[in-house]
Structure 1
Amino acid sequence: MATTPTTTDSRGMATGANRTATTRRFAQTLRVALALTAGLLGGHAVHADATASHRVTVRLEPVSALALEGGDIELAVPRPQDGAPSSASDASCRLDWLTNQASHKITVASSLPSSRLPLSVEAVSAEGGSPVGSVTLTAAAQDLVVSLARGAGHCRLRYTAQASGLEQPTPEVHLITYTLTDLR
């Protein structure tokens, strides 16, 4: 096969009749390449599309958060009159929680194993859970709010201290701990 000299422009592209001859040679080469490829593949059609797949698992970690608003509290129980018990209450603190899990509750415990002046706490105006009522505090964790809903919730904390008047007038300092845990 005789070749004709190729004339190119400044970009190296074939020009005029040379462009037509170059295009024809390219088309012929492409046909031969496709025929050879089809022969190597056993006559199966060649597809230009290709795919690949894999799984991606997205997992959300458990979220459990508690926050106390209101700071430390001092309850001053007034002197009992005529031997009758006396008490003092405070509901200035708020407990906030957030969870994305079902079957959770909030427990409460004191740092003191026992107390001369009984101290109790009650979750009032609770939203997002069911309060159990007044709990007399000890060192053992006790349920305060159960059946927490997924999401945010809160309650007011009403502390009440009682005295009969026969106790020695020295203060008791409790460190109160709230824990968000599962119902077990």
Structure 2
Amino acid sequence: MLKLSRQVDYGQPPRPFALTDTHGQVRRLDEFTQGKGLLLAFICNHCPFVQHILPGLVDFARDYMPQGLQVVAISSNDPADFPDDAPEEMARLAQAMDFPFPYLFDATQDVALAYGAICTPDFFLYDGQMKLAYCGQFDPSRPGLGHPPMEGTETWRTSVPVTGEDMRRAADAVLAGQPAPQPQVPSAGCNIKWKAGKDPSWG
């Protein structure tokens, strides 16, 4: 099901987490809060919206992590129904694409709930004070899936390359100590695949 990001809680700090990465190590939020900013990206393996932007996200991380921006990816999908999103498949993808950032598995889905994540990809960019500054799209490029238009998708483009232009502008502002550009266009993608009885009212 197609969803738009909720864009909630601007100015709020990131929620704590302790999640296992693709090497079996537990990674905690505190490891990533000492830089000039932090990007949390809720992604997964199988979503075509994620697959469409993923090479661009990897390029973005390689450009901005050396500048002091921490980047962390989280998958909260239930692999019981979507085995492509299982931890072993996450590890395979991270190795194949040489992720420069950790890829964490939210097995209980509590982290996605705490952040109010709703779709893949869903982005939460925090400034150097660890306040949420940007919660919008990576850029206007979308895969051509034949979805009918829906409210908030007027700026989608399926015929342009992935550049990360919106996220790069926001990251440049955060690294310069400036507010993120406005307006922020919602991200869009597949809904997070919730466990039975876990899905929130807004999911």
Sort the TM-score into its range (normalised by shorter chain). Answer: under 0.3
Pick 1 or 2: higher relative contact order, CA cutoff 8 A, min separation 6: 2
Structure whose CA Rg is larger = 1
- TM-score normalised per structure 1: 0.24
Instruction: Flag the structure with higher helix content.
Output: 2
Instruction: Flag the structure with higher strand content.
Output: 1
- TM-score normalised per structure 2: 0.23
